[in-house]
Amino acid sequence: MTNAIRTAPRPRRPAAWKAVRLIPLTELSRSGRILGGMVMTSVQVLLFYWLWNAAYAARDTVADMDVANVVTYSTVAILFSRVRWNARAYSDDNVSHLVRSGSILYWFVRPLPAHRFHRLRATGEMVMGGSFALAGLVIATLAGLASPPSSAAVAAVFLTSALLGQVIAYYLATLVDLLCFWLTANNSVTLMYNFVHDLMSGVFVPVFFFPGWLATLSSVLPFQAIISTPLSFYIGRTDLSSAPHQLSVQLAWCVCLGLLVRVIWWFASRRLEIQGG
């Protein structure tokens, strides 16, 4: 008689997708910070509502846009530009802080690659922020601060374009994050990036209000694809027949920036310097 050889079960590796929950759970445990972000965003929406109504008081249209369209654009732009803003602005768990404290070392000794961990965390952040943005859009629509999409097809194209825009925003923000591996502290660069992002993507002022030279510059940069492209579908300024081309441009930016980010992660992992510990 032979005894069956019993082997110990192999230890289960933690599911990588659980990293998606990190930022939502962290942010939801700090209700004061979420409430502060909501109040700040609401104030911005109201200020732009009053600003645009005052600007249009003596005219009906500007650049073929009436006040209702511009207010809708501005409201939705503010909501979707803040999808990752709350955690990025206030969190102590961002890459720059971790590099300065030395805690970034743990990202490179886990079984999960650092770049993948960073991407999964950001995915959870975007899911949470996107949910808040959509909820805010529903409230703004009910309050008369924004108009709903003209059709289900427009809504579908807008959401697809907005998702691609958030991917582009993630890659651009990641490039800024990765600079801290060379600069150690990149707070000034982050502040500059946030301003350029909001200006060139059309958050402050719609891109179609830009002077010619600035509109041309914006058209060759990826920022316009983050906010202006999806919002142009939403308000009907861009016809749905242009959707394949516009979405292809956004997808191309996603691929190019994604490859660049992957290369920079490779270089960053080979010059890791611990300043704290």
* Residue 84 included in any domain: yes
DSSP 127: H
The whole-model pTM stands at: 0.87
Section 105-130 average pLDDT: 86
pLDDT in the model for residue 35:
85
Q: Which of 72, 257, 75 is nearest to 172 (CA)?
A: 257
The better pLDDT of the pair 36, 2 is held by: 36
Task: Give me the number of domains the chain comprises.
Answer: 1
Dihedral sign, Cα of residue 238, residue 241, residue 244, residue 248: negative
- CA dist 202 and 240 (Å) reads 20
* Residue 12 included in any domain: no
* Residue 112 included in any domain: yes
Whole domain around residue 153: which residue ranges? 32-268
pLDDT in the model for residue 6:
53
Query: Alpha helix locations (H) across the chain?
Result: 22-28, 31-55, 67-81, 85-90, 95-101, 114-142, 152-178, 180-183, 187-200, 212-219, 228-234, 243-268
* Residue 109 included in any domain: yes
DSSP 209: G
Phi, psi of 16 (to 5 degrees): -65, -30
Residue type at 61?
A: T
User: What pLDDT digit, counting tens, does each position of 224-262 carry?
Assistant: 999 999 999 999 999 999 999 999 999 999 999 999 999
